[in-house]
Amino acid sequence: MNVGTLVSYDSEQDSMVSSKNLEIVIEGGKIKEIGRNLNSADDIYDCKNKLLTPGFVDCHTHPVFFEDRHREFKMRVDGLSYDEIAESGGGINSSVSSLRSASEINLKNRVQTRMDNFLKLGTTTIEAKSGYGLNLDSELKSLKVLNDLKSTHLIDIVPTFMGAHAIPKEYKKKPDEYVDYLCEVVIPEIAKQGIAEYNDVFCEEGYFNLEQTKRILEMGCEYGLIPRIHADEFKNIGGSSIAGILKCVSADHLMKINDENIAHMLESNVTAVLLPGTTFFLGEKAYAPYEKLKNTGLDVAIATDYNPGSCNIQSMTFIIMLSVLYMKMNISDAIYSSTYIPAKVLNRHKTSGSIEVGKIADIIIWDVLELIEIPYNFSINPIRDVIKSGNFVF
Ligand code: NIG
Ligand code: FE
């Protein structure tokens, strides 16, 4: 390919680099050469007037649900809060009912369509959580769907177990027994089947408290599941401090994080995963304190948090727009935080997350020349083409 402008993390310089008028040679799904006057390609694809970036790595999504929740969206539009809807029988538990009764094949078809859309929107690697099953059978069904798609779909899928997404209805009055069940029955079986890499807990008032979070994540660690946390989203109960103490790879959301929490995260180099789409979709005003987190030296990633309740957004381009506009992220950092940093969170940074020799050829070809035109043009999706493992998606 002849490239107008290439913007990518560069490991030799350990920073984002912008280069003009390069050629990229792709062979066997990987990047073989980057340079000038290479002349070794069979087919030449002309991108002389285009901007290229790495494919997006969306490191936080909840795509394994069955029915959508547009009726709840209507309730929010009519004035009810996310909490009020959850208390009146909606929320995560309403997705649990429909997922439990869906057949595996029907569920898979829906998740597959969502993965098609992610890929078209430039996401070439995606972390995907279970968490709408909340019992052994349905969590296994969810993770099985993800693992099937992992081997058949072009997009790279990284499966996360999130049995601790909510307390299921049948355990409402005995939440600690649900935690026992997760620790004694579900986690060992998930680990035995080798169908998840990460273990995530929704550490939040009304969901899992600090003690329960700690038990679930420590048990996961014993079984080789890498810990992550949903922390400080609506209230601060200390979730991101626990992330530091337990050496989680990331703490996600962080809208209500404070200085003490940040100090704990720094001690263990926990990456802050910010999800501005959720703040936006819930109609909230206070975005996570990106500048503060960044200035302390923490790595920051951005992701969609795609889910049927609090964030029906699949487009990383849109997330970048929210990040630059409402979190004051500079545009080059926004690309870094949506490609290389999330690849590190998912431990895929040796193979994905940047356009460098030897890596998988995951590339977005933009219909623009300057980075800032990406968020500026978000409403018309300025993506010309997506290359996944050397294949053109469109
Ligand atoms: O990440 N925070 C927890 N879970 C989701 C919401 C899931 C839902 O409403 O279905 C989130 O925002
Ligand atoms: Fe989430």
Say if residue 98 is in the same domain as residue 241.
yes
List beta partners, residue 19: 6
pLDDT in tens, 296-339: 999 999 999 999 999 999 999 999 999 999 999 999 999 999 99
Q: What is the average per-residue pLDDT within 274-295?
A: 97
Q: Which ligand is nearest to the CA of 307?
A: 1
- How many CA atoms are closer than 13 Å to the CA of 12, on its beta-carbon side? 4
Q: Using a 6 Å cutoff on CB, does residue 230 contact ligand 1?
A: yes
The token pair at 97 is 């009912």
- Amino acid 314 reads Q
Q: Which of 3, 5, 7 is nearest to 320 (CA)?
A: 7
Name the residue of 80, 234, 305, 319 to mutate for ligand 1: max ligand atoms within 8 A of Cβ. Answer: 305
Residue numbers of the domain that contains 36? 2-54+354-392
Structure tokens at 258: 């404070």
Q: Are residues 226 and 260 in the same domain?
A: yes
Q: How far is CA 211 from CA 216, 228, 272, 357, in A?
A: 9, 15, 21, 45
Percent of the chain with pLDDT over 90: 95
The pLDDT score that the predictor gives to residue 354 is: 98
The number of C-alpha atoms within 13 Å of 353 and in the hemisphere containing its C-beta is 26
305 CB near ligand 1 (under 6 Å): yes
Whether residue 84 is found in the same domain as residue 230 = yes
**In what helix (H) or strand (E) does residue 198 lie, and over which residues does it extend?**
strand 198-203
Determine whether 380 is exposed, middle or buried from the number of CB atoms within 10 Å of its CB (0-12, 13-18, 19+): exposed
Checking if the pLDDT of 375 tops 90, the result is: yes
Q: Which of 58, 71, 95, 165 to mutate to test the pocket of ligand 1 (most atoms within 8 A of CB)?
A: 165
In this structure, which ligand is nearest to the CA of 65?
1
With H, G, I as helix, E, B as strand and everything else as coil, classify residue 211: helix
* Pair 253, 293 in one domain: yes
Q: Which atom of ligand 1 is nearest to the CA of 82?
A: 9
Does the pLDDT at position 188 exceed 80? yes
pLDDT digits (tens, 9 = 90+) for 39-96: 777 888 999 999 999 999 999 999 999 999 999 999 999 999 999 999 888 999 999 9
Average pLDDT over residues 356-372: 97
Beta bridge partners of 385: 365
| Domain match, 65 and 50 both | no
* Mean pLDDT, the chain, whole residue set: 97
Work out the pLDDT band at 192, boundaries 50, 70, 90.
Answer: very high
> Do residues 134 and 29 both lie within one domain?
no
Helix axes 136-152, 104-120, angle to 10 degrees: 50
**Does 274 lie in the same domain as 155?**
yes
Backbone φ and ψ of 83, nearest 5°? -65, -45
Question: Does residue 224 register a pLDDT over 90?
Answer: yes
Using CA atoms, how far apart are residues 243 and 47, in angstroms rounded to an integer? 43
**Ligand 1 pocket check for 202: Cβ under 6 Å:** yes
Joined tokens for residue 96? 């649990």
Residue 75 confidence (pLDDT)? 96
The closest-lying atom of ligand 1 relative to the alpha carbon of residue 69 is 10
Q: Is 232 in the pocket of ligand 1 (CB under 6 A)?
A: no
Do 196 and 61 lie in a common domain?
yes
pTM of the full predicted structure?
A: 0.97
**Alpha-carbon distances of 178 from 98, 131, 141, 142, 322, rounded to whole Å:** 20, 14, 19, 19, 37
Map residue 335 onto helix, strand or coil: helix
User: Considering its fold, how many domains does the chain have in total?
Assistant: 2
Q: What is the pLDDT of residue 198?
A: 98
278 lines ligand 1 (CB under 6 A): yes
Q: How far apart are CA 127 and CA 306, in angstroms?
A: 11
Query: Pocket of ligand 1, candidates 66, 71, 92, 250: which has the most ligand atoms within 8 Å of its Cβ, to mutate?
Result: 92
Pocket lining: 238 vs ligand 1, CB cutoff 6 Å: no
Are residues 323 and 299 both part of a single domain?
Answer: yes
State the DSSP H helix or E strand holding residue 264, giving kind and residue range, or none if neither. helix 259-267
Residue to mutate, 59, 61, 62, ligand 1, most ligand atoms under 8 Å from C-beta: 62
**Shared domain check, 181 and 82:** yes
* Residue 197 CB neighbours (<10 A): 15
Ligand 2 centre distance from Cα of residue 230 (Å): 6
| Nearest ligand atom owner, CA of 231 | 1
Helix crossing, 92-101 with 136-152: angle to 10°?
80
Residues counted in the chain: 394
* CATH number for the domain harbouring residue 205: 3.20.20.140
CA distance 31 to 38: 13
Q: How many CB atoms lie within 10 A of CB 207?
A: 22
DSSP state letter for 225: P
Tokens of 336: 């870094």
Is there a single domain that holds both residue 157 and residue 248?
Answer: yes
Q: Are residues 10 and 135 in the same domain?
A: no
What gap in Å lies between CA 371 and CA 335, rounded to an integer? 9
Cβ-Cβ contacts under 8 Å for 40 (sequence gap 6 or more):
25, 33
Distance in angstroms (rounded) separating the CA atoms of residues 119 and 117: 5
Residue indicated by tokens 């007037």:
49
Q: What is the number of the ligand 1 atom nearest to the C-alpha of 91?
A: 9
pLDDT band of residue 173 (cuts 50, 70, 90) is very high
CATH of the domain at 10: 2.30.40.10
